[in-house]
Structure 1
Amino acid sequence: MVVIIIHKTFTDFYNNTVTFSTSDHPFSRNPMHVWVICQFRGSWLLTLHPSRGVEFPGGKVEEGEEPTEAAKREVFEETGGKVKDLHYVGQYKVDGKTEKVIKNVYYAIVDELITKKNYFETKGPKLLKTIPSDVKSNHEFSFIMKDEVLTYSMAEIQRRFI
């Protein structure tokens, strides 16, 4: 198998410098954030954040928690999805005006979707057959979905897992 490493730098929705890489944890072995691109029964499983809009689940790694554990927890908390398979896609670093954020990006296959009374910080799951081509200009979607991290991650998922 040929290993292809993507390493790209660009600016995000807020004009921060972002570097995305598919290499093995290039910025941190212990990142404090995760982002999980999920599929459930042939559809993309996202969540509806009350202020940001539609986005893939993710969040902070809690103290004593591994990033893979955080990824599974965040998917369940925000969508009710139970992760069956979880794959590391890459990692990205945002050099913001006040802080630096490093996130692991994962691809998850969800095999069960549980209806919950409380989805923590979100309004629960949102299933889409396809991610719209106008996601970058579509006001329904979160800023998290509007930069090249999504583009590069989806290409990598398509290449390696689908």
Structure 2
Amino acid sequence: MLTYNDVNGGRVELTFGDNHLGMEARHVLVVLKYSEKWLLTRHSIRGIEFPGGKAEDGESIEEAAIRETIEETGVTITDLIKVAEYVVHSDSTFCKAVFTGKVTYIDEQPTLHETEGAIWLSSDELDRCEELSFHMKGTGMDIIRERVEEHES
């Protein structure tokens, strides 16, 4: 397990194995590459980030990951792999599951929710991006990206 502080000062516990974090994940983050580009979206307040959100009542975290990706980017994914889970300790502590998967369909004119749609960036473009959400900054996200790239090979 890796423990660090995020850019807002919250303590984060990140694990890549079984969840020993003592909390069920009800939030999701989808980190994937397709044709050598990362799938991101622009949130109107936070900036550029990976798609994700909260599971709705009665919805599994896998279903939430698929739904959130479609709603925020117009991209349909399948064959989900859970890459990691992390807990952010703050005023409202939460656990988030991180998934990657396979792109099966890209809707070029999607009906979007809360975002401005899909943004595809190479690793270099992502590393240089100055509009990243605070969620995208820090040690944990770099390690998560490395793990996702390992699943591609």
Distance in 1 separating the partners of 2:96 and 2:89: 12
Aligned to 1:3: none
| Structure (1/2) with the larger helix percentage | 2
Aligned to 1:158: 149
Matches for 1:1-162 after TM superposition, within 5 Å: 7-27=1-21, 30-96=24-90, 98-131=91-124, 132-134=126-128, 138=130, 140-162=131-153
CA contact (8 A) 2:5 2:12 kept: yes
Deviation at 1:116, TM superposition (A): 3.5
Deviation at 1:29, TM superposition (A): 6.8
Moved more, 10-19 or 142-151: 142-151
Deviation at 1:155, TM superposition (A): 1.8
- CA gap of 1:154–1:20, structure 2 versus 1, over 3 A, is same
Corresponding letter in the other structure for 2:36: G
Distance in 1 separating the partners of 2:39 and 2:127: 17
Deviation at 1:130, TM superposition (A): 1.8
Aligned to 1:4: none
Count how many residue pairs are aligned between Structure 1 and Structure 2: 152
Unaligned runs of 5+ in 1: 1-6
Unaligned runs of 5+ in 2: none
Corresponding letter in the other structure for 1:95: H
Percent identity over paired residues:
32
CA contact (8 A) 2:13 2:21 kept: no
Corresponding letter in the other structure for 2:112: Y
Distance in 1 separating the partners of 2:25 and 2:148: 20
Moved more, 36-45 or 79-88: 36-45
CA RMSD of aligned residues (A): 1.7
Tell me the TM-score normalised to structure 1 length.
0.86
Moved more, 81-90 or 149-158: 149-158
